Amino acid sequence: MAGLWWPARPAAGALRAWAPRGPHRGKTAKVPRRPLPRTPWTTRGPPPGAPLPRSWQDKRPVQEQIPGLEQVTYAGKQYFVPWLARPRLPRWERGWHDPRHSPGPRYEAMPLYKERVCYVCHQRTKMLEGVRQALWLTKTKLMEGLPPKVLSIIDEPANQLENEDERVQNAISHARVWITTELIPKRESYCPVLLEDLLHLCRTMASKYPSLSKRMLARDYKVAAAWERESSILQVRGMNGILLNAINPLLPVASKDEILATENHILETFHPISPTIDLQEVNVYEERHDTGFREGYPYPHPHTLYFVESANVRPVRFRPEQLRAKMLMFAFGNALAKAKVLYGDDPKVLEHPVVVQSIGTEGRIFQFMVFQLNTTDLASSDGVKNLVWIDSDQYMYDYIRYLPGIRKKVVKFPPGIYGYRPDTFKKFLALYLHGAVQDSTQTQIL
Amino acid sequence: MAVSSLTRALGALLLSPAPSLPQIAQHPRLVCLGGNLLPACHGFSTSSNLSTNNPMWKCRIKYTTRPVGMKKTGGRDHTGRIAVHGIGGGHKQRYRMIDFQRLRYGPGSESGSYDEKVIQIRYDPCRSADIALVAGGKQKRWIIATENMQPGDILKTSRHIGRMAVSASEGDAYPLGALPVGTLINNLESHPGKGAQYIRAAGTCGVLLRKVNGTAIVQLPSKRHMQVLETCMATVGRVSNIDHNKRIIGKAGRNRWLGRRPHSGLWHRKGGWAGRKIKPLPPMKSYVSLPTAAARA
């Protein structure tokens, strides 16, 4: 038959298409060994005293069994020859300690090594249970919504900018649209720009309230705080966010009665999951308290922490729940460090609670938080607890349209901001004005 | 097949120091092989790498819940020749390290039973079943999900065998001696502490047939009977994704996406594929080494 689609059978003696080539050329496939016959030995094992068959014996290499039979290697010759075996040479020792080529001390040999494990929360810690876990770790009671003092600042008409909506929408358009010549900017670029623009708008109120100028922003500072919580040592360490420092501290937001009422509150546990899950366990640590600033810094009191969540890739970005947990942990860390510096290391209920605010955003959704540290006695779960007010998932706008929506050659949906909500910026501004507005009302009363 | 060799190689992975498992390396630090694992990144790393050139990607010692980049073999073995035909191409996959040893105690807590909470159930590209992220104590791990598992469920794992059989709910893990006869089980071990190697595919379940002085006999999905010690752990219920065998591939391209290359078109006369096959059940497989006659006497 002519025109076969498969190649014709090769000549006898020539290599078949599927035969092995190279060093295995000419070898035939080994016939697999038949299964062992069923005898009492193979099913039940050989009786204890009998000699084992060859294949079941322990086989040590012949060189190990007979002393004079080790392999002859070229180690004695000090150079390679192809017919002698390759020697197992001893590992070369430098003889002196070169810091650039040594593996470094083991954890057990480090001076700060401790047997007891410490759990560290840093800026990449994403807690599994989110805010509930952070509440247990910081011995805090949660209150929904912002405190009434802050809400009253929003309601006052004097605390608004001129053309507030227009200026905020300009800021949003700057961050989301005008910042780049490409069509759609990445979150890494627009998120910090949006925060900077909003802060700039807030700072323009300094003409009305002069005490606003007694504040300073700080970036890239490291905070350190350590505390013990029901037989686990916890620490908050590292760079967190942008901190707004002030000359005068924030006055306590909750009254004494509310603080004493927290004694009856029971912290929520989540049974099969331990509260220290997702925290980094370290054995080499040092318990210290550091606000991040030296003594004599002109703006000693922390006012507000701003968190920018601008990772481009969704798996790396913090979800809103995890962002709120991170905000709570770092607000607590800053407050605790400041309290230890002001009032000493002993765990006690504070006479003048420390208040730290916190705002977190990922470019569109804002989380507002006011944290009040009432006590540094955190070892037991009873007693006075700290307080936190959280306003979560505040949308500043719904979405941005980059390209116009054209239906039948008519522009039906122009490009721009859709779903703008003015309340979010009002809350942002209220948290910014929190310490300053009280000063002016008090001076007015005086 | 690749996954089974993979799980054998990862048999010594250390979620926490388990006394009965052999350890591959005594080095306590993470094996970081070469600089080609992480791409050049400034500051924080992005999500973990999609694939890797590293042939030692299976030899990771420390357990992680983050997916690990895989290197596809294409059916080739270490000599470079095709060992298994029909494998190659397909969508890139990342391996999620599954913990098949359900009874794993954390360091220092050797109590009888413990609870775990299901966080998330998701699709796994490396197997037909779905996997579940469970958290208990201070650790999180991936396990094979059972049929009716939902996020928020509490699963119990225990190694205690009582006189009365436990009324087990789905997803819990008990030794075979503690379960009532007739329960549907999955993720079965052949030896205690070895890790589950049987009944792991989507929708499968084995049946606990009888318990005979210290051993238990289980019927596998292939109807074969298997005899194991009663201290071997098994999970109760059917494996998730029960409609897996009812799916229709639909087109050749979907098989290519799954990494299956086309069959050879050559007709093998003695292939033995055609015709109905009626065979008796193979004998019961026993993983219990009984004492010899001389010792018993």
**DSSP assignment string, A244-258:** EEESSPPPPSS-HHH
- For B181-194, letters b (16+ CB in 10 Å) and e give eebbbbbbbbebeb
Q: Which residues of B touch A47 (CB under 8 A)?
A: 292, 294
pLDDT band at residue B23, thresholds of 50, 70 and 90?
Answer: very low
What angle do helix axes A422-445 and A187-203 make, rounded to 10 degrees? 30
What SS3 string covers B123-153?
Answer: ECCCCCCEEEEEEEECEEEEEECECCCCCCC
**Of residues A224, A347, A332, A376, the one with CA closest to residue A285:** A224
What pLDDT was estimated at residue A362?
Answer: 93
Q: Report the gap between the CA of A315 and the closest CA in chain B (Å).
A: 6
DSSP label of A176:
I
For A211, A326, B171, the CA distances from A296, given in Å and listed in that order, are 20, 29, 60
* Residues 6+ positions from B48 with CB-CB distance below 8 Å: B66, B67, B68, B69, B94
ipTM above 0.85, yes or no: no
Indicate if the pLDDT at residue B259 is higher than 50. yes
Indicate if the pLDDT at residue B188 is higher than 50. yes
Q: Which site among A129, A273, A281 would you substitute to test the B interface, given the most B Cβ atoms closer than 10 Å to its Cβ?
A: A273
Give the integer Cα–Cα distance in Å for A338 and A292: 10
What DSSP assignment string belongs to B217-257?
Answer: EEE-TTS-EEEEETT-EEEES-BS-GGGGG----SHHHHHH
Taken in order A89, A91, A96, A101, is the CA torsion positive or negative? positive
Number of neighbouring beta carbons within 10 Å of residue A126:
15
Q: Under an 8 A CB cutoff, do A274 and B114 touch?
A: no
Indicate if the pLDDT at residue B211 is higher than 90. yes
What pLDDT was estimated at residue B151?
Answer: 96
Taking only the tens place, the pLDDT of each residue in B140-178 is 999 999 999 999 999 999 999 999 999 999 999 999 999
What pLDDT was estimated at residue A8?
Answer: 58
Q: Under an 8 A CB cutoff, do A124 and B44 touch?
A: yes
pLDDT, block means (10 residues), chain A with 446 residues:
57 62 70 71 74 76 80 90 89 92 89 96 94 96 93 88 93 95 95 96 91 93 95 94 94 92 92 93 94 94 95 93 97 96 92 95 95 94 94 95 95 95 95 81 46
Q: Which residues of B touch A278 (CB under 8 A)?
A: 140
Amino acid A438 reads Q
Q: Under an 8 A CB cutoff, do A276 and B138 touch?
A: yes
Cβ(A167)–Cβ(A161) below 8 Å: yes
CA nearest to B29 within chain A? A106
What pLDDT was estimated at residue A88?
Answer: 83
What pLDDT was estimated at residue B22?
Answer: 39
Which backbone phi and psi does A129 adopt, to 5 degrees? -90, 0
**Of residues A234, A226, A176, A212, the one with CA closest to residue A417:** A176
What pLDDT was estimated at residue B27?
Answer: 38
The pTM score is: 0.81
Which residue carries 């098989």 as its tokens? Answer: B255
Taking only the tens place, the pLDDT of each residue in B70-105 is 998 889 988 889 999 999 999 999 999 999 999 988
Q: Which site among A16, A44, A108 would you substitute to test the B interface, given the most B Cβ atoms closer than 10 Å to its Cβ?
A: A44
What pLDDT was estimated at residue B165?
Answer: 93
Q: Which residues of B touch A315 (CB under 8 A)?
A: 47
Q: Under an 8 A CB cutoff, do A277 and B154 touch?
A: no
**Which residue has better confidence, B22 or A213?**
A213
Virtual CA dihedral for A309, A312, A314, A320, nearest 10 degrees? 10
What pLDDT was estimated at residue B78?
Answer: 84
Q: Under an 8 A CB cutoff, do A316 and B47 touch?
A: yes
Nearest residue, CB atoms, B136 vs list A44, A273, A313:
A273
